[in-house]
Structure 1
Amino acid sequence: MNRQYLREILLRSPLPPDSYLNDLPAVRYLAQGHRLILDAPVSFLVGENGTGKSTLLEAAAVACGFNAEGGSRNFRFSTRDTHSELGGYLTVVRGDYPQDGFFLRAESFYNVASEVDDLDRIDDLLDSYGGVSLHKQSHGESFLALVQNRFGGHGLYLLDEPEAALSPTRLMSLMILLRQLTEKGSQFLIATHSPILMAFPGARIYELSDTGIRQTAYRETEHYRLTKRFLNDPESMLRELFEDSDETN
């Protein structure tokens, strides 16, 4: 059974006029009074770099009570205060209360793994992560071990670019885990650049661009169209790319 633990994301009040966040397309869209409606077990935030995908995901995680660097709601460590102030200005409209939850950030996963090791010395926390230190596995193996062992179902899981450490084969393994977890009543909000991951059946894809945020069909995303064009004829596309580069220089 699918449940919606996170139903809507909206901007509760305007950001300070001098905040750099006002320049992000995702923030401008919410500042116009729009809401991001989440009505599927898996929702993707996609778009070019700089559109605000990771910033919005991080802010939503903070507004939901997660640690800004990642982890569960019980994680309270901080190695460096680099998260944005956006979470303090967001309102998240919730549905059912999740029994589990986790915020996974690719860029600070090392810090989360270190925190798990530290906490394990106190209460044997490592058992719920597969029994092996995440530091003693490859980056990709530790990502999958986390999802497979720590994510228990009936939970809200926010993932920021989980494809960063995963091969295409491992990405497909992740999709199997996503399916199993959604069948256990879980909800995912994922920021990604992966056209493989975006193909997850029944997912909502929200494309962020200079014009705002819009729900987009999988085959209409720039990620799918560009990847398909490249794979169909890489030689031609590379030739065109390098010719354009030579003309620019």
Structure 2
Amino acid sequence: MLARRAYVPTELLPSRTSNRWQWPLDVPCVDQLVKEGMSFERPVTFLVGENGSGKSTLVEAFAEAWGLDARGGRAGRKYVNDRPKTPLGEMLKFETSALGARHRSGTRTKRRGYFHRAETAFGFMNAVSGMQGYWEDDTDAMSHGESFLTVFENMFKEPGFYLLDEPEAALSFQSCMSLVALMHRLGESGAQIICATHSPLLASTPGADIIEVGDHGFRRTTWDDLALVDHWRRFMTSPTAYLRYITEE
């Protein structure tokens, strides 16, 4: 494990009565993070929740706190630390293992990590394809799913700190399975992965820790107990039980 816990030091927090106490500090999962911190217990961690639950806000802040660009990209990229951080990313800190501390303090060119953010991935991939330290393939000539897998296969190779925000956005069933295999191998190799997802396929990665995010804040759960999995099971068993509510007048 590289990161054992993410937390916000009390001295960095604005007063709850000040006008600086605003989004995202009032999002339930962020509020809980501020109060309790979030521990990481396994090499692969999934944050699962509805749109607007705050899981992407958490992953984005984790990336910034580790020294990655919130817009995506690899560790050690030049000038990344010159850009303004998000409010949560500015305050967030990590408790690390000795290995994690060495990983973060190493020379810029030797740091291993990547933040894959679906919202900005395509523009970023087109900008860096062929550049030193990335990949030689022309992702602009590929389908979206193929380009995502190219990034994963080239950037997610060695033990490092990897963050993904909804990587399933362009992936088919088979491509999701390829990503599951990759994340499992990485976790076994000594890497650490934190992934925000809506995909029950990705969340089924063997040995992964699952944290469900919602109005309650966040809590650890199992794949079988995820609301997401329950909905998909019910829908696949009887689609009309769901569809009639949105198609009938």
Tell me which interval the TM-score lies in, with the shorter structure as reference length: 0.7 to 0.9
**Deviations 1:27-72, CA, capped at 9 Å, x for gaps:** 11123x2121101011001111112111110011001000121111
Q: Which SS does the other structure have where 1:21 is aligned?
A: coil
State how far apart, in whole Å, the 2-side matches of 1:83 and 1:142 are.
27
The answer to whether the aligner puts 1:35 opposite 2:32 as a matched pair is no
Q: CA deviation at 1:76?
A: 4.6
**Deviations 1:84-123, CA, capped at 9 Å, x for gaps:** 3210111111222345111110001123213313x72xxx
The answer to whether the aligner puts 1:114 opposite 2:116 as a matched pair is no
Q: CA deviation at 1:241?
A: 4.4
Q: Is the 8 A contact 2:164 2:194 kept in 1?
A: yes
State how far apart, in whole Å, the 2-side matches of 1:82 and 1:136 are.
33
State how far apart, in whole Å, the 1-side matches of 2:209 and 2:56 are.
17
Correspondence for 1:233: 238
The answer to whether the aligner puts 1:142 opposite 2:147 as a matched pair is yes
Q: Is the 8 A contact 1:67 1:77 kept in 2?
A: no
TM-score, structure 2 length as denominator?
Answer: 0.85
Percent of residue pairs bearing the same amino acid type: 37
Q: CA deviation at 1:231?
A: 0.3
- Partner residue of 1:103 out of 110, 115, 120: 115
State how far apart, in whole Å, the 2-side matches of 1:160 and 1:36 are.
17
State how far apart, in whole Å, the 1-side matches of 2:51 and 2:44 are.
21
Q: Is the 8 A contact 2:48 2:213 kept in 1?
A: yes
Correspondence for 1:207: 212
Q: Is the 8 A contact 1:44 1:206 kept in 2?
A: yes
- Partner residue of 1:90 out of 73, 89, 92: 92
- Partner residue of 2:189 out of 184, 187, 204: 184
The answer to whether the aligner puts 1:21 opposite 2:24 as a matched pair is yes
State how far apart, in whole Å, the 2-side matches of 1:107 and 1:219 are.
29
State how far apart, in whole Å, the 1-side matches of 2:79 and 2:229 are.
37
Q: CA deviation at 1:23?
A: 2.3
State how far apart, in whole Å, the 1-side matches of 2:119 and 2:222 are.
28
In structure 2, give the amino acid aligned to 1:166. Answer: L
Q: Which SS does the other structure have where 1:7 is aligned?
A: strand
The answer to whether the aligner puts 1:9 opposite 2:6 as a matched pair is yes
State how far apart, in whole Å, the 1-side matches of 2:205 and 2:58 are.
21
Q: Which SS does the other structure have where 1:159 is aligned?
A: strand
Q: 1:45 to 1:82 in 2, by over 3 A?
A: farther
In structure 1, give the amino acid aligned to 2:205. Answer: F
Q: Is the 8 A contact 2:75 2:112 kept in 1?
A: no
Total equivalences in the alignment:
231
In structure 2, give the amino acid aligned to 1:190. Answer: C
Correspondence for 1:160: 165
Q: Which SS does the other structure have where 2:210 is aligned?
A: strand
In structure 2, give the amino acid aligned to 1:5. Answer: L
Q: CA deviation at 1:180?
A: 2.0
Correspondence for 2:106: none
Listed as ranges, the gaps of 5+ residues in structure 1 are none
Q: Which SS does the other structure have where 2:45 is aligned?
A: strand
Listed as ranges, the gaps of 5+ residues in structure 2 are 104-110
